[in-house]
Amino acid sequence: MSCGGNIGGGSGGGPCGACKFLRRKCVKGCIFAPYFDSEQGTAHFAAVHKVFGASNASKLLLRIPPHKRLETVVTLCYEALARVRDPVYGCVAHIFALQQQVVNLQAELAYVQARLSTLQRLPLPSQPPSLPTTSSPSTSLHSSSHLQSNSNLYMHSDPLQSQSMTTAELTSFYKHWLENSCVGTCPE
């Protein structure tokens, strides 16, 4: 990481990214050296310098305890780069976009939960739409055609499977559902 990732960046052979950008000699106690490396730190320091100024950034870092300076430099870089990208709103535009994303996702979650609740309240029909009339109740429980019709019944009540039903199947299911759930209470 070029902004705060290279501790001791200026103590090597060349100047730190800040001193390289400012075209000055990087001294041993340079406040920027631990946080701006000589390779990519120059671009990040350019943004910090453009937005805050080198003197203000230096004064700010000197007032911060050494153990919190890394976080401060990362924040300065983030805000400076955001301000360079969007001079009017800076990082506030990104925060606003994230807040809008949270609001949209919460609305989508509420919609899905309401839809799921609605689908869970639908009564499951007690009998499949087409029962075999020739078999006795004891043999129909164990027959494969009854098991097949039960699986079709669950397919009709599953919203993900219902998308693949034909219009005739939907009409049959709806009529069966009306017959079983609206006994004497549904308007004709």
Looking at the structure, do residues 55 and 110 belong to the same domain, yes or no?
Answer: no
pLDDT tens-digit readout, 141-182: 444 444 444 444 444 444 444 444 455 555 555 555 455 544
Looking at the structure, do residues 58 and 100 belong to the same domain, yes or no?
Answer: no
pTM of the model: 0.53
Is 90 within a domain? Answer: no
Burial of 98 per CB tally in 10 Å (0-12, 13-18, 19+): exposed
Is 137 within a domain? Answer: yes
Residue that wins the pLDDT comparison between 140 and 59: 59
Intra-chain end-to-end CA distance of the chain, in Å:
72
Is 8 within a domain? Answer: no
Of all helices (H) and strands (E), which one includes residue 8? none
At which of 66, 85, 104 does a domain end? 85
Looking at the structure, do residues 46 and 79 belong to the same domain, yes or no?
Answer: yes
Domain range spanning residue 81?
Answer: 17-85
What does the alpha-carbon distance between residue 26 and residue 33 come to, in Å, rounded to a whole number?
Answer: 8
Is 55 within a domain? Answer: yes
Is 4 within a domain? Answer: no
Looking at the structure, do residues 101 and 152 belong to the same domain, yes or no?
Answer: yes
